[in-house]
Amino acid sequence: MTNVTKHSTAELQAMDAAHYLHPFTDHKDLGARGTRIIERAEGVYLWDTDGKQILDGMAGLWCVNIGYGRTELADVAYRQMRELPYYNSFFQCTNPPAVKLAAAIADIAPAHMNHVFFTGSGSEANDTVLRMVRRYWDLKGKPTKKTIIGRVNGYHGSTVAGASLGGMSVMHEQGDLPIPGIVHIAQPYWYGEGGDMSPDEFGLWAARQLEARIEELGEDQVAAFIAEPIQGAGGVIVPPVTYWPEVKRILAKYDILLVIDEVICGFGRTGEWFGSQYYDLKPDLMPIAKGMTSGYLPMGGVIVGDRVANALIDDGGEFFHGYTYSGHPVAAAVGLENLRILRDEKIVDYVKNEAAPYLQSKIAELAAHRLVGEVRGVGLLGAIELVKNKATRERFAEKGSAGSLCRDLCVRNGLVMRAVGDTMIMSPPLVISLAEIDELVKRIRLCLDLTAEQLGI
Ligand code: PXG
């Protein structure tokens, strides 16, 4: 069997069921339903092996920011693979694409962030965060500052550190997570958990959980707070406007590090280069991945602020941490070309000034739909809450059933949206045109109608 051997859809499905263990998948269920095999893509569209065209409302998995089919990325990967397919950055070595990418990222990052540590993924980036944060406080002579505060329903990856920093209970239940030294506070999810509070009141309440936890643990025990600017995998949870300013007030009182996970929000998703800039945050560390290469090759990293970088460099000696593929030259070359395209084609400006205002105004109209309790979003992130009763926010009896029904109807009707419980979420490529946004919203509306019909409301 070679790469060019042609197989029918059924043959590929049979081999898939026999040999391929998928991530985050119930395999018995998958074997029964069969997989959809995505074969090619162009712009914002995917095609499966049956020739069906699907609008990719998720940019792959929140990553294909510049859209599919950009041959420039293939060309630089080809050239780099022929020149230097691999070399490591250990033992006093480096390579030109990794150096140039670190400089290019420092150029777009907030002014106080000037270094990058490269990884192979977002999960590895958050493993790096855990080790770097603790190393920092050891170097500062404060070795008791070990605990990292994350948030319930946050997502920071699937490795042991990533899943522990994240607050996904289903992940914690498998394998005795979180590891010691990681605790979680409430998420700022007003629609789901705000109760009788107004969004503003709830935002303050959720932020003050951080202060309460720092006080409870003691500042001398707390190393860092980690959060996504807007939770992605948790359901595109846009915090109330009072949330981040209050967190900033609290952080100013205590000497702890701020880690802002930019794996989804980075590289233009919010209409700024980074979500930290959207919310005017001053992080010490920013894990990145996904949009860094638009997903064309796997790569991640941590953008390191001067405070931590200076400690590592000036006081540190050797930091015993790194990966075979840290600064991989081919991934770095692709990352550089991806950044060039984002910059030269002014894609982040396009998101801010055209695509995001247009998408947000169009999806806001869906709030009137009988199945929809709330629509929210920032930049090219959006969420639609499916409810049984709009007035009371009452959900359907079996949690997630409306969401998975809607998701399946979407795919059948040529649209990828993710369902998180009964929240439908979207994160299309940043290059989506206004006409394609019209098409996206048309397909969403159709699927909401079909879902409501099947649910009998
Ligand atoms: N941080 C954030 C904020 C993420 O969204 C990671 C870290 C981990 O990145 P890697 O590259 O290790 O996967 C992520 C990844 C989903 C889904 O279902 C989201 C992610 C990954 C897989 C599924 O929405 N985000």
In a domain, 147, yes or no: yes
For residue 70 the two structure tokens come to: 């950009």
Q: Which of 378, 447, 375 is nearest to 417 (CA)?
A: 447
Q: At how many degrees (to 10) do helices 329-344 and 96-108 cross?
A: 40
Is residue 280, in this structure, part of any structural domain at all? yes
Position in ligand 1 atom list of the atom nearest CA 232: 5
Best residue among 56, 62, 424 to mutate for probing ligand 1, ranked by most atoms within 8 Å of CB: 62
Q: How confident is the model at residue 368, as a pLDDT? A: 97
Let me know whether 353 and 265 are in one domain: no
Nearest to 448 by CA among 274, 440, 10, 273: 440
For ligand 1, mutation pick of 171, 263, 418 (most atoms within 8 Å of CB): 263
Which residue, among 149, 215, 227, 231, has the nearest Cα to 185 in the 3D structure?
149
Give the pLDDT confidence of 237-286 residue by residue, as tens digits: 999 999 999 999 999 999 999 999 999 999 999 999 999 999 999 999 99
* 364: its two tokens: 């806001």
Q: Which helix (H) or strand (E) holds 28?
A: helix 27-33
Mutate to test the pocket of ligand 1, among 58, 151, 155 (most ligand atoms within 8 A of CB): 155
* 367 within a domain of the structure (yes/no): yes
Domain boundary among 329, 344, 359: 344
> Any residues with CB less than 8 A from the CB of 251 and at least 6 apart, and which?
210, 225, 258
Same domain, 339 and 365: no
The domain boundary, picked from 344, 361, 379, lies at 344
**Closest protein CA for atom 24 of ligand 1:** 233
Query: What integer pLDDT is reported at residue 33 of this predicted model?
Result: 78
Boundary (domain end) residue, out of 344, 367, 398 = 344
Residue 212: CATH number of its domain: 3.40.640.10
Q: Are residues 236 and 164 in the same domain?
A: yes
Residues 6+ positions from 267 with CB-CB distance below 8 Å:
65, 273, 274, 288, 290, 291, 292, 294, 338, 342
Query: Measuring from atom 15 of ligand 1, which residue has the nearest CA?
Result: 157
Predicted pLDDT of residue 35: 87
**2 found inside a domain:** no
Cα(6) to ligand 1 centroid in Å equals: 32
Helix 356-364 with 434-455: angle, nearest 10 deg: 20
CATH of the domain at 441: 3.90.1150.10
Residue-number span of the structural domain to which 410 is assigned: 9-69+346-455
- Residue 286 alpha carbon to ligand 1 centre in Å: 14
Q: What are phi and psi of 40, to 5 degrees?
A: -155, 170
Determine the distance separating the centroid of ligand 1 and the alpha carbon of 122, expressed in angstroms.
Answer: 7
Ligand 1 centroid–CA 420 distance in Å is 13
The ligand 1 site (C-beta within 6 Å) comprises 61, 121-123, 126, 155-157, 162, 228, 232-233, 261, 263-264, 289, 300, 418
| Residue whose token pair is 């396009």 | 350
Q: Are residues 122 and 23 in the same domain?
A: no
- Given the CA of residue 58, which atom of ligand 1 is nearest to it? 24
Between the CA of 453 and the centroid of ligand 1 the distance, in Å, is: 33
**What atom of ligand 1 comes closest to residue 425's alpha carbon?**
24
Query: Domain count of the chain?
Result: 2
89 and 77 share a domain? yes
- 367 vs 372: CA distance, rounded Å: 6
Q: Scan for tokens 């860094």, then name that residue.
A: 292
**CB neighbourhood size of 241 (10 A):** 11
Predicted local confidence at residue 1, as pLDDT: 61
The model carries a pTM of: 0.98
The residues of the chain scoring below 50 in pLDDT are none
